[in-house]
Amino acid sequence: MATYIYEQKSWPAFRWNDEDICSLLSEVHRLRGYLAGRMQAVGFKTQRISLLQALTLDVVRSSEIEGETIDFAQVRSSIARKLKIDIEPRVRSTRSVDGIVEMSLDAARHHTAPLTHTRLFAWHALLFPTGRSNGMMIETGMYRTQEMQIVSGSYGRERVHYTAPPPGAVQAEMEAFVAWFNSDVQIDPVLKAAIAHFRFIIIHPFDDGNGRIARALTEMLMARADGSTERFYSLSDQIMADRKQYYRLLQSVQHSTGDITDWLVWHLQIVQRALLASIKTLDVAMDRSAFWQRYDSVDFNNRQRQVLNKVFDGLEGKLTTSRWARIAKCSQDSALRDIKDLIDKGILKQQAGGGRSTSYVVNEPTG
């Protein structure tokens, strides 16, 4: 049977090829600085909405990575309530959702506070407020006391993907991990975040919830790297988009003799994609804000506002009369009147072509 990385004498002294990560790491730092600068240039309201969107995505996607679906609106409302962000509509959130949100916010907003065993236990208890996971009782608010294997397949045909360190070794592993996490080790902070994610997953100290806590720890170290409590990009959203590779790499590198270059490269790519996605979202928000400011004196009906906001949200495909009617839930005649009104005001223009496939786009400002 293949040896696990934690069984190596060098564990947990990782190594990597600097040449393979140097240019990618530099690009990540450039994008971090660019995003921070852009955020300082926008209004407070745009910042708060961007923050809410990033945090909501992160919480929802982190659960989805583990195959669990939680209500987006509940998460959004829970975060907005805790951060005192005014949104509509608000919905009631469950105790479970509030717990997940509380853990995520604690990691980012209190990133300068030291990591402790007690804090980790509190996070774990927040993830499982009933002491159950998938209907089964688990050990909550404490490190596991049982063997841990990640297994798939039906009974009698199980496939073991990973066997974690024995329970008797967990306390010592976590003592070393927490000390390292809190130390001023001479390593790039973005790399430290990637290493912390991997090392925690390998230790697998809890009965359940290890992936979500590992990602919260990553967010905590990224917040330290950014020197800010505000999280404007979601790593979990990008990990979810590449979930197969996420698990494939974990399974591959868990048998490494200590070289984690592949993991670091992938993790830096995830950070890069998250930053680029956030920058794109911010561009859309700024375009939307500039549009409504430009036409502040123009009268729009509710249908027009609804469809135009949908366009700024990234409407896929062409905007036709039929599409307008479906989005605004109105008749074709009403849709056509709305469109012609905006064309007369110079806000929309008809694209080349005609007939039933006639489509429209927002007019670019001149001058």
Give the pLDDT score at 317: 84
Does 101 map to a domain? yes
For 31-37, what is the mean pLDDT?
A: 93
Decide: 90 and 81 in contact? Cβ < 8 Å. yes
Cis peptide before 12 (omega within 30 of 0): yes
Same domain, 71 and 211: yes
Give the pLDDT score at 354: 62
Does 48 map to a domain? yes
Boundary of a domain, candidates 224, 251, 286: 286
Same domain, 231 and 261: yes
Question: What is the extent of the structural domain holding 323?
Answer: 300-362
Same domain, 219 and 337: no
For 171-185, what is the mean pLDDT?
A: 96
Same domain, 311 and 282: no
Does 19 map to a domain? yes
Same domain, 281 and 308: no
Does 121 map to a domain? yes
pTM, two decimal places:
0.84
Q: Alpha-carbon distance 294 to 292, whole Å?
A: 5
- Spatial CB neighbours of 219, under 8 Å, sequence gap ≥ 6: 58, 104, 107, 108, 231, 235
* 33 pLDDT tier (thresholds 50, 70, 90): very high
Does 291 map to a domain? no
Same domain, 203 and 311: no
CATH number at residue 311: 1.10.10.10
Does 294 map to a domain? no
Res. 367: pLDDT tops 70: no
Boundary of a domain, candidates 286, 319, 334: 286
Give the pLDDT score at 20: 96
Res. 212: pLDDT tops 90: yes
φ, ψ (nearest 5 deg) of residue 42: -95, 170
Decide: 215 and 209 in contact? Cβ < 8 Å. no
CATH number at residue 10: 1.10.3290.10
Same domain, 236 and 305: no
Tens-place pLDDT, residues 215-252: 999 999 999 998 888 888 999 999 999 999 999 999 99
Same domain, 315 and 233: no
Does 367 map to a domain? no
Q: Alpha-carbon distance 246 to 290, whole Å?
A: 38
Tens-place pLDDT, residues 74-125: 999 999 999 999 888 789 999 999 999 999 999 999 999 999 999 999 999 9
Same domain, 201 and 254: yes
**289, two tokens:** 């804000």
Res. 362: pLDDT tops 60: yes
Same domain, 144 and 255: yes
Boundary of a domain, candidates 286, 319, 354: 286
Cis peptide before 89 (omega within 30 of 0): yes
Give the pLDDT score at 90: 84
Same domain, 319 and 351: yes
Q: Mean pLDDT lowest for which of 4-18, 272-286, 349-363? A: 349-363
Res. 366: pLDDT tops 60: no
Tell me what percent of the residues of the chain surpass a pLDDT of 90: 73
Same domain, 191 and 167: yes
Give the pLDDT score at 45: 82
Give the pLDDT score at 12: 95
Give the pLDDT score at 363: 85
Decide: 128 and 140 in contact? Cβ < 8 Å. yes
Report how many domains make up the chain. Answer: 2
Does 293 map to a domain? no
Q: Higher confidence at residue 135 or residue 146? A: 146
Q: Higher confidence at residue 269 or residue 289? A: 269
User: How many C-beta neighbours within 10 Å does residue 34 have?
Assistant: 13
* 282 pLDDT tier (thresholds 50, 70, 90): confident
